[in-house]
């Protein structure tokens, strides 16, 4: 796909009360009337992506993509920065775009904005459960908005995406076209349309515990109009003046003695032949692993990831040696952050086909369609990362054939391909952290300590400042971090 990088952002906050969002507008800020929709779109996209980054800073620890320094874990999280990105930055600008689009009959701007609102609401509700939406943009008319249930939010997400699909499917009716502000697709309405359909497939699959196989069937229907190649991936790239935040956190911070993370054993064991032993003696590691991690051991040492809560040990009892790659695909200064990809779409297809065929977490065998999508997802991710996957794709641990395909094969490869994406936390919860589905998955070593001993965290808690600002509504919806969200039954 074309590479749209972040150049500048004029952060403008419009449409929300100063009291609720604690906003101080600088002297000389542009007014709503002075700004074009393209002026607002870039910042809205940027903050949408940054909300995902901040969510993953915590959830990536829960899914054991990484640990804290020395293998440390985190406890409950409020992902306050993600909440701020959604409610303080992204949604206000998107609401203004929607207002301007309605005034000017700019259906493509409206469609794009609705896709972005859906992404923000999806992340918010999957993180917390009930969240403000229907009353969240009333400004001074309602300083203490009620929270909408997660079931209601999911209905809103699907309605927004349906409306976006309708608006993006026809020619733009005004002179105003998305362009410079669209740092994802450069104003290409067809790619936004495919993104909307693919997102609908993702959210449909989230509901397999609610709607059963109907959810899987809907997901496949949406994918028919979804992403067709890696060129469709929803992502933004960074550059020298606006560094990729994972680069700042995991590459620059260690050089200045600041807090950073270590690559986790769950990921490394999936990629170094430990959890899934390779049958080809020429295949030492998954060729994507050096794109994720640097091996800081002695020359010739195998990659050993940090066990979550394991005080610096790897799963074989030796000292762990994996740090984030200095020049990795996701941790270089100009690396992208990916919201949703073609590879993920293929794994959604593979899982849906597997389930529709009667597959369970422990059953073996599926259809050729499920297997083809599984292989295509791997191939797409290999191509995206620019590595040679020819040996890997023919190894017996991966090329299992449709008669031997299991759900854990699909979910393992989706786990690898969705590195640093909070969607993985959804997958873990959908399958109740099952070690049948996520092979070798175990609670952190130190999980027997503290208030929630022996329990998986399954949601974020609301930020403290929201409880101060809007106590009645926050307390009415406050849940334990170990209480499942609505779709996790």
Q: What is the pLDDT of residues 218-247, one digit of tens each?
A: 999 999 999 999 999 999 999 999 999 999
Domain count, the chain: 1
Dihedral of CA 402/407/412/417: which sign?
positive
Are the C-beta atoms of 476 and 147 separated by less than 8 Å?
yes
pLDDT band at 141 (very low <50, low <70, confident <90, very high): low
Domain assignment present for residue 119? The answer is: no
Domain assignment present for residue 360? The answer is: yes
Mind listing the pLDDT tens digit for each residue in 186-197? 999 999 999 999
CA pair distance 424, 414, nearest whole angstrom: 8
Question: 252: which residues sit within 8 A by CB, 6+ positions away?
Answer: 243
Helix, strand, or coil (residue 306): strand
Q: What's 342's domain CATH number?
A: 1.20.120.840
Distances (CA, A) of 134 to 139, 148, 196: 12, 7, 21
Instruction: Provide DSSP, 141-192.
Output: G-SSPPEEPHHHHHHHHHHHHHHHHHHHSS---SS----TT-TTTTT-HHHH
Q: Which domain holds residue 381?
A: 338-430
Domain assignment present for residue 377? The answer is: yes
What is the per-residue pLDDT for 14? 35
CA pair distance 165, 159, nearest whole angstrom: 10
Higher pLDDT, 183 or 281: 183
Mind listing the pLDDT tens digit for each residue in 450-464? 889 999 999 999 999
Domain assignment present for residue 400? The answer is: yes
DSSP strand pairing (322-324 vs 234-237) = unpaired
Residue 2 pLDDT > 80, yes or no?
Answer: no
Domain assignment present for residue 171? The answer is: no
Domain assignment present for residue 376? The answer is: yes
Domain assignment present for residue 311? The answer is: no
**Whole-angstrom distance between the N-terminal and C-terminal Cα of the chain?**
38
What's the predicted TM-score (pTM) here?
Answer: 0.94
Average pLDDT over residues 378-400: 98
What is the per-residue pLDDT for 396? 97
Are the C-beta atoms of 391 and 283 separated by less than 8 Å?
yes
Average pLDDT over residues 293-310: 95
CA pair distance 82, 79, nearest whole angstrom: 5
Domain assignment present for residue 385? The answer is: yes
């Amino acid at each position: 796909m074309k590479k749209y990088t972040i150049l500048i952002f004029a952060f403008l906050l419009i449409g929300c009360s100063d009291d609720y969002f604690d906003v101080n507008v600088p002297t000389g800020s542009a007014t709503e009337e002075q700004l074009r929709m393209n002026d607002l779109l870039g910042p809205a996209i940027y903050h949408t992506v940054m909300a995902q980054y901040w969510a993953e800073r915590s959830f990536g620890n829960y899914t054991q993509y990484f640990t804290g320094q020395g293998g440390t874990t985190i406890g409950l999280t409020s992902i306050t920065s993600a909440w701020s990105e959604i409610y303080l930055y992204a949604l206000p600008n998107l609401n203004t775009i929607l207002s301007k689009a309605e005034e000017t009959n700019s259906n493509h701007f409206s469609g794009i904005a609705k896709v972005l609102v859906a992404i923000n609401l999806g992340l918010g509700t999957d993180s917390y459960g009930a969240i403000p939406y229907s009353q969240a943009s009333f400004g001074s008319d309602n300083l203490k908005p009620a929270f909408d249930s997660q079931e209601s939010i999911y209905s809103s997400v699907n309605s927004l995406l349906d409306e976006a699909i309708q608006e993006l499917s026809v020619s733009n009716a005004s002179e105003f076209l998305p362009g410079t502000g669209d740092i994802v697709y450069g104003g290409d309405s067809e790619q936004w349309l495919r993104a909307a359909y693919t997102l609908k497939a993702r959210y449909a699959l989230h509901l397999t515990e609610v709607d059963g196989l109907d959810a899987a069937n809907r997901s496949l229907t949406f994918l028919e109009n979804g992403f067709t190649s890696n060129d469709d991936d929803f992502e933004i790239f960074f550059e020298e003046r606006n560094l990729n935040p994972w680069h700042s956190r995991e590459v620059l911070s260690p050089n200045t003695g600041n807090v950073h993370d270590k690559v986790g054993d769950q990921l490394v064991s999936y990629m170094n032949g430990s959890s899934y032993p390779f049958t080809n003696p020429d295949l030492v590691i998954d060729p994507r692993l050096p794109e994720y991690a640097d091996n800081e051991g002695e020359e010739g040492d195998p990659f050993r990831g940090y066990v979550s809560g394991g005080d610096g040990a790897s799963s074989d009892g030796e000292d762990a040696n994996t740090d984030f790659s200095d020049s990795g695909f996701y941790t270089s200064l100009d690396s992208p952050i990916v919201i949703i990809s073609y590879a993920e779409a293929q794994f959604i297809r593979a899982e849906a086909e597997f389930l529709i065929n009667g597959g369970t977490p422990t059953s073996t065998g599926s259809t050729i369609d499920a297997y083809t999508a599984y292989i295509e997802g791997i191939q797409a991710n290999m191509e995206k990362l620019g590595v040679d996957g020819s040996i890997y794709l023919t190894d017996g641990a991966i090329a299992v054939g449709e008669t031997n395909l299991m759900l854990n094969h699909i979910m393992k490869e989706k786990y690898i391909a969705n590195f640093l994406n909070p969607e993985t936390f959804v997958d873990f919860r959908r399958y109740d952290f099952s070690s049948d589905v996520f092979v070798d998955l175990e609670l952190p070593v130190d999980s027997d300590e503290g208030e929630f001993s022996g329990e998986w965290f399954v949601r974020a808690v609301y930020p403290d400042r929201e409880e101060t600002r809007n106590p009645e509504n926050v307390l009415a919806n406050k849940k334990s971090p170990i209480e499942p969200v609505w779709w996790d039954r």
